């Protein structure tokens, strides 16, 4: 039994988690640290990152904060360089940085649409490119997509849904390019509705919708997403690449 559990460990590995100052990203950083990884946490909000690193350090997790913006390819390169300089390597990238928003398509401005795509899709691509330059065979990239990359939202989310569908297409293509030639596995995690800072005040109004449109009829929990992330980021998923793990309480199949 211990052999199987060992495959879910990340001892000696170094991970980058973007969008780590809150929500899923914060939880993902803690989850990877709890299974042995050293973690470089990145986001635009420096004070939040400092608080996270202090908390992780108190738990015996090696962590380092980097304030950056994934929409800048140069800052993505600098983040990867910092991870390698700080911890010696880069083995895991969790592309979690993202923005939401619900705007009717007939009112959405070009800038509003571009902002969402720039962060959610382009930022994922720039980070993957930067990571690839430093990663060795056996490394892993996990792109955080969404159930709305697979199915329509009950709310107007054209930019968000398009960007997350793009992340799934990007995941497949990068896996095809890099997994056999470079030994880098690339997969996507598609969370459903989870109680995080992004859903925050909307949890109440969303509850009825989630109850009606998902099999389990409830929001997901951070620990349920963490378990899926650990699976994708470790050798537990060593025969999986180019795939998407959907953890949405059955929302996308109703």
Q: Which of 97, 234, 213 is nearest to 245 (CA)?
A: 234
Annotated active-site positions, please?
Answer: 160
Q: Is the Cβ–Cβ distance between 48 and 22 less than 8 Å?
A: yes
How is residue 192 written in tokens?
């459903």
Strand 63-67 to 92-95 pairing? unpaired
Q: Is the Cβ–Cβ distance between 11 and 36 less than 8 Å?
A: yes
Rounded distance between C-alpha atoms, residue 14 and residue 91, angstroms: 5
Q: ∠ at Cα 25 (75, 37), nearest 5°? A: 85
């Amino acid at each position: 039994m211990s052999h199987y559990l060992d495959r879910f460990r990340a001892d000696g590995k170094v991970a980058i988690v973007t969008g780590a100052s809150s929500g899923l990203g914060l939880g993902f950083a803690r989850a990877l640290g709890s299974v042995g990884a050293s973690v470089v946490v990145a986001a635009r909000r420096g004070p939040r990152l400092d608080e996270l690193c202090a908390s992780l350090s108190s738990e015996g997790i090696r962590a380092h904060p980097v304030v950056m913006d994934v929409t800048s390819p140069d800052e993505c390169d600098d983040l990867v360089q910092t991870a390698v300089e700080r911890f010696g390597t880069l083995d895991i990238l969790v592309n979690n940085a993202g923005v939401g928003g619900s705007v009717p398509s007939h009112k959405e401005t070009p800038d509003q649409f571009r902002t969402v795509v720039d962060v959610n899709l382009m930022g994922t691509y720039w980070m993957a490119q930067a990571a690839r330059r430093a990663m060795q065979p056996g490394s892993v990239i996990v792109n955080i997509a969404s159930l709305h990359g697979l199915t329509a939202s009950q709310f107007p989310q054209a930019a968000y849904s398009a960007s997350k569908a793009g992340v799934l297409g990007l995941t497949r293509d990068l896996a095809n390019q890099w997994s056999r030639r470079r030994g880098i596995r690339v997969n996507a995690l598609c969370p459903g509705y989870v109680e995080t800072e992004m859903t925050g005040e909307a949890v109440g109004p969303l509850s009825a919708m989630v109850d009606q449109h998902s099999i389990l009829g409830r929001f997901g929990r951070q620990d349920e997403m963490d378990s899926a992330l650990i699976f994708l980021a470790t050798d537990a998923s060593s025969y999986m690449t180019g795939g998407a793990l959907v953890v949405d309480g059955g929302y996308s199949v109703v």
